[in-house]
């Protein structure tokens, strides 16, 4: 309902009717949305994610427990997780996706909601960040998490000092930033 139409309705109403109409107007506005369709959540079973993470992490020399924690921190294992800038189980931005898939035109950002492709791409991106940190002689898993969360350039601009970056709201990231690189128990562990 448009605000003008709402106000015309309000003019002839008693106070109690006005409150009822105002409440209805608020509910109508909050339920109408913006016309964009929200994806239905799609949680992937932890054992399936763990299996995929172990396989992909081994290819790139990453601790699978760390990668599994990143998946949990980013999406709670929701393959359809989406923000205004990131998609999928590892919440990759389009720029990070392109960076990780450079030279592979078959893996476009339209595949970001395919959880297996997202994990593969996310692990490749983590491996790239690990390489950049190693080249700078600054690799730690805390710095890798900070690079993934806040960006490599931002970490570098703070002298690779994770404590100078904003404290994440996410409790898993907080644990990783404080040194616990395995804050989530993997299935069967």
Q: Which residues pair with 93 in a beta bridge?
A: 86
Confidence of residue 90 (pLDDT cuts 50, 70, 90): very high
Confidence of residue 89 (pLDDT cuts 50, 70, 90): very high
Q: What percent of the chain has pLDDT over 70?
A: 79
List the structure tokens of 109.
């950002």
pLDDT at 155: 98
Please count the other Cβ atoms lying within 10 Å of the Cβ belonging to residue 42.
13
pLDDT at 32: 37
Q: Which residues pair with 43 in a beta bridge?
A: 78
pLDDT at 106: 80
pLDDT at 29: 39
Q: Which position has the token pair 């909601």? A: 113
On whether the CB atoms of residues 79 and 44 are closer than 8 A, the answer is yes
pLDDT at 7: 43
pLDDT tens for residues 37-55?
567 899 999 999 999 999 9
Q: Which position has the token pair 């107007």? A: 25
Which of residues 139 and 108 earns the better pLDDT score? 139
- Short-list 91, 108, 94, CA closest to 145: 91
Q: What is the pTM of this model?
A: 0.79
- Tell me the C-alpha to C-alpha distance, in Å, between residue 96 and each of 17, 65, 129, 147: 53, 21, 10, 11
Q: For residue 82, how far is the Cα from the chain centroid? A: 7
pLDDT tens for residues 160-172?
999 999 999 999 9
- Tell me the C-alpha to C-alpha distance, in Å, between residue 101 and each of 59, 88, 134, 144, 150: 15, 15, 20, 19, 20
Q: Is the pLDDT of residue 150 over 80?
A: yes
- Short-list 87, 89, 137, CA closest to 98: 87
pLDDT at 118: 97
Q: What CA–CA distance (Å, rounded) separates 24 from 20?
A: 6
Q: Which position has the token pair 């078959």? A: 106
Q: Interior CA angle at 94 toward 113 and 105, to 5°?
A: 80
List the structure tokens of 153.
């350039």
Q: Is the pLDDT of residue 19 over 70?
A: no
């Amino acid at each position: 309902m448009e605000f003008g139409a709402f106000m015309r309705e309000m003019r002839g109403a008693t106070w109690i009717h006005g409150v009822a109409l105002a409440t209805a107007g608020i509910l109508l506005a909050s339920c109408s949305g913006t016309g964009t369709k929200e994806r239905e959540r799609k949680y992937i079973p932890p054992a399936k994610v763990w299996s995929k993470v172990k396989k992909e992490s081994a290819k790139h020399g990453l601790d699978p427990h760390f990668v599994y924690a990143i998946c949990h921190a980013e999406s709670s294992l929701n393959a359809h997780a989406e923000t205004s800038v990131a998609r999928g189980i590892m919440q990759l931005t389009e720029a990070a996706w392109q960076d990780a898939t450079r030279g592979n035109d078959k893996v476009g950002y339209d595949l970001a909601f395919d959880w297996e492709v997202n994990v593969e791409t996310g692990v490749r991106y983590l491996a790239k960040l690990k390489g950049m940190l190693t080249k700078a002689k600054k690799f730690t898993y805390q710095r890798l998490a900070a690079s993934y969360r806040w960006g490599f350039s931002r970490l570098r601009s703070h002298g690779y000092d994770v404590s100078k970056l904003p404290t994440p709201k996410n409790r898993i990231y907080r644990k990783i930033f404080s040194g616990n690189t395995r804050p989530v128990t993997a299935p069967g562990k």
